Amino acid sequence: MAEFVGAAAKLERLLDEEIASAGRMGALDAERTLRAFCKPVSGAMVGDLDAAASWLAEQPVATILSIIQLLTLRFHLRNKAEQLVIATTNRRREHEATHDAPRSESIAEAVATIARAGGGVDSLRATLRRLDIQPTLTAHPTEARRRAVLRKQVRIAAVLDRLDDARLTPAEKAAADRELRRVLLGLVVTDEVRSERLDAIDEVRNGLHYLAGSIWETIPRLYDDLRAAAVEYFGSDGAMDLGRVGPIVRYRSWIGGDRDGNPRVTPSATEHALRLHRETATDLYLDAIEELRLQLSVSTRRRPAAGALLRAIESDASSEDDSLKHIRYEPYRVRLIQIASTLRSARDGSGRYSAAEFESDLRTIRESLVETGIGSLAQGPLDDLLLRVKTFGLHMASLDVRQHSAWHEAAVDELLRMGGVCDSYADLDEAERLGVLRSELASGRPLLPKGARLSERSRNVLDTLGVLSRAVVEEPDSIGAYIVSMTHEVSDLLEPLLLMREVGLYRAAGPAGPAIGLLDVVPLFETVDDLERAESLLDVLLAEPLYRDHLRERGDLQEIMLGYSDSNKDGGYWVANWRLHCAQRRVTQACERANIGVRLFHGRGGTVGRGGGRANRAIQAAPRESQNGRIRFTEQGEVISFRYSLPAIAHRHLEQIVNAMLVTTHSGLVRDDQNDDEPDGSSAIMDQLAATSRETYRSLIDDDRFWPWYMQTTPVTHISDLPLASRPVLRSAGGLDFDRLRAIPWVFSWMQIRATVPGWYGLGTALSAAIEKNPSLRGRFQEWNGQWPFFAAVVGNAEQDLARCRLPITARYGAAAGFGEDDPIMRLLHDEYERSHRLICEITGSDRLLDRRPVIAGLIDARNPDTDALNLCQIELMRRARSGSDDDLLAPALLASLNGIAAAMQSTG
C-alpha cells in the first residue's frame, strides 16, 4: 500500500507545479479548498460534505469544471502509478522466484504444478495442443478517455520507469525529469472529453493501437516463459519448438463487426475494418523483416545455405533482382527482400499472399539456418516473427460479426415472400418456420430475384454477408464467427444459413458434395430465461440433420456465447452468476451428448455487475466439464486500456490466463471424477438462493417508484450525451425506459452514484432467508467459500463491490433530486446493503469487508475523499441542469464529471 501511495504522491507533487506553471493557480486553490472539506478528520469515515456542498453551491460552473478537470487528472495519474507498482512488484517477485517457489500465477508455476502432479513433458505438450485462448476486443462504450490522453499517460509510465534505472547519469535523470514535466503539462492543457462521438472506424483504430502495441510485444514473451519453464521442470526433455505447438493465444475483435443495435457499423465500415487489420499486420511484418534483414547477413562464402532456400529464391527471381547483386552471397537477405515485396503487393491489392504461405516462407529460412549448423541465429527475432504470424496471421485479429436475431427474421421473411415461398414467415410458429427453413436449405436455388429491391435493413444484412464472403475467400482466418444475439429458438440459427446461401457462404448438399457453411454460427444466450433454456435448444439444434451437416464441415465444433450483461440486468447479480455457471455445464453436456466439441465464449464486461473481475479466477471457478482448453471472453472499454496500455501489465494479464488454462485443462485430462468441483447438495441450495435473490432484485426494479427515482437520481440522461463510442445507449428508438436501456449505461449510472447495485443487490436477502430456514447453512457457506472456487469468486466479487459502495453519497443524489430522508428506494438499498455486508463478513470470517485483501481495501479508502468531491461536483451540476441553467459550460462540465468519476472508480459499465 505504501508503494502505491508514494508513487501517486510523487506524481501529484509534480502535477501541482505544472498546473501552476500553466497559469491555473486559481483552479488549483479551488480544488484544494474542496479537497480539504472532503478529507476525513479525527477518524471520521467522511469529511464535512455538507460544508463542501454549500461551498460548491456558491461557485460558478467554470470553477467547478476546473476542479473536476484537476481531480480527474489526479485519478489518471494514480491509476498509472498503481500499474507501475504492479509491474515493479511482479519484477521483484520474478527475481525472488526459485525452482521450488515459482512466482504466483505465472506460467512457470503452472508448469511446476503439472510436473508435481506427475505429468511428464508429453503431458505438457498434450495440454498445450488443446489450448485455444481467444481474448476478444470489443468497442462497447465504456472507455471515457481520449486516445490523446491515454498516450500521454503511457508516456508518463515509460519515463517513470526510466527514472528508476540506477545506471542513469545525473544529466540523463535531469532530461527524463524535464520530459516528465512536459508530458504532465501536456495533460493539464488537453481536453479530457472528446468533442465528438467516435465513429466505427475510429474505434477500429483504437483497437489496433493495442493489438499493434503491447499485445504484439507480449506474445513472444509468453512463449519464452513457456520454453524456459519446460526446461526448468523437465530438463533437456522439455526443449521444444513452440512454433509447432500451435497458437496458444489468438485475438479476435468485434470492433467494426458488432452491428447489434449500432446503425453506424455499416457493411462498408466492416470492409474498411478488415482492410485496416490487414494493413496494420503487413506494416508490422515489414518492420520485423527489415530488422531480420539487418541481422541475417550470413554469407554463403562462410556458411552454405540449404537447397530449399536457394530454390525459393530462384523461384521468385525477377529481372528487378539486378538491384540485389551487391548481396548475391547473402541469400537470407535476398529472400527476406523478396518476401517483403510479396507482402507489399498483397497489401496494395496487386498480388495474393496468405498467412500460411508467409509462415512457410519464414520457416524455410529457419530450417536452412538449423540445417547448416547456425540454428541459434533463428532464436530471437525470427522465432518471434514466426510466433506472431501464427498468432496474428495477416489479419491481426479475426473479426466477428454480430447481428440481432430479429434482423435475420425480417430479412428471411422478405426473401421468402419475394421468392414466392411464403407470404408471411414472421407469422409462422416455430415448427412451421423449421419446416420452411429445412426445405429451402436443402435446395440450391437463390431466393432473391435479379434486380429486386430490398428494404434497407434486409439489404444491410445481405451486403454485410457479401463483405464476409469476399473476406473469407481472400483470407479465411480474417473472419471469426457470425454471432446471433437474442437467440431464442432453433430457427434463429438456421435463418443466417439461409441468408448466407444468397451470397455463397453456404452451399446445400448435392452433386458438388456435402453441405458447406463457410462461417461458424454462434448463438448468444443473454437473458436468464434463455440461459435456462439453452440446453434444450441445443439438444434440438444438434439433432437437426441440416445443421449437423454444416457443423461437420466446420470441424464438429460449436461455439456458444453466454451473455453476462443482460442476464444481470434482467435478474440481478446472484441469479445471473448461478444461471451462467449452470449454463456452462449444461451446454457443454448437450454438445458432449451429440459428440460435438464446444468452445464457450464469455461476454464479460468490466464491472462485477457485468461479469467483470479477474479472468483467471473465473476460469478456475468454471464447471469442470467446461474446462476443455478452449475459451473466449470479451475485453472492452476501460478493461482494454487497463490491461493493455503497458506491456508489463499485458504480460501479467495474459500469463495469469495461460496459467489458469494450463492447470485446469491438464487437470481435466487426468481427472476421473467429473463432478468433484461442486459440493454435495449445493445445486438445490443455489437454486433457492438464485430464486430468492431474483425475486428481491425484481421487487426493486419493478417497484412503481423505482424508475422515476432512477431517472432523476442518476446521471443516465447525461450519459447518453457522453461521446464515448459509436454505439447508442438504447436498444431501439423511443423513450428511455428499463427495457430499452442497454446494460452498459445501466451499470455506468449506478457506478456514478456509488451504489454499485448490479454487483450485490439481492444477495443479502437470499443468504439470510436460507440461513433462517436452515441455520446449518451458515457453516456450509463458510466451508464453500474456502473449498468451492465458484462460490468463493461470486462472494469475493460481491465483497469488492460492496466495499466500493458508498450509499451516503447515493442518498445525496436522491436528496438533490427531491427525494426526502425517508425515501423508500434509498431505504430498500440501505437495508439490502446492511444484510449483504453482514452476511459476506460472516461467510468470509472477517470483521470488515476486504480484511483479507488489505491493499485493495486501502486503495479504496484512499480514493474515497477525492471521489466524494467529484460526486459533490456532479450533484451540484445536475441540480443546476434541473433548474434550467443556461450556462454554456454546464453541459461540458457534466460530461467532464462523468469522465472524472469513471477514472476515480476505474469503472464505467
Catalytic positions, please?
140, 569
Residue with the three cell numbers 487489420: 277
**How far apart are alpha carbons 233 and 243 in whole angstroms?**
20
Q: 549: closest CA among 575, 581, 579, 510?
A: 510
- Which residues make Cβ contacts (< 8 Å) with residue 670, sequence separation at least 6? 117, 119, 123
Axis crossing angle, helix 682-701 with helix 573-593, rounded to the nearest 10: 130
* β-strand partners of 522: 483
The DSSP-derived string for 750-791 is HHHTT--GGGTTTHHHHHHHHHHH-TTHHHHHHHHHHH-HHH
Q: What is the DSSP letter of 379?
A: T
- Cα–Cα distances (Å) from 324 to 255, 292, 318, 329, 469, in that order, read 42, 16, 11, 10, 39
- Which residues make Cβ contacts (< 8 Å) with residue 892, sequence separation at least 6? 65, 193
The DSSP-derived string for 191-252 is -SS-SS---HHHHHHHHHHHIIIIIHHHHHHHHHHHHHHHHHHHGGGG---GGGT--SB--E
Q: 385: closest CA among 211, 246, 219, 248?
A: 219
Task: Confirm if 212 and 357 have CB atoms less than 8 A apart.
Answer: no
Residue with the three cell numbers 440446453: 535
Q: Report which secondary-structure segment, H or E, holds 705.
A: none
Task: Enter the C-alpha cell of residue 833.
Answer: 446493503
**How far apart are alpha carbons 521 and 541 in whole angstroms?**
12
Task: Confirm if 448 and 502 have CB atoms less than 8 A apart.
Answer: yes
The DSSP-derived string for 281-346 is HHHHHHHHHHHHHHH----TTTS---HHHHHHHHHT--GGGGGGGGGTT-HHHHHHHHHHHHHHHH
**How far apart are alpha carbons 726 and 141 in whole angstroms?**
7
**How far apart are alpha carbons 756 and 749 in whole angstroms?**
9
**How far apart are alpha carbons 795 and 800 in whole angstroms?**
9
Q: 407: closest CA among 862, 892, 732?
A: 732
**Range list of H helices, 320-455:** 331-348, 355-371, 381-392, 405-418, 430-442
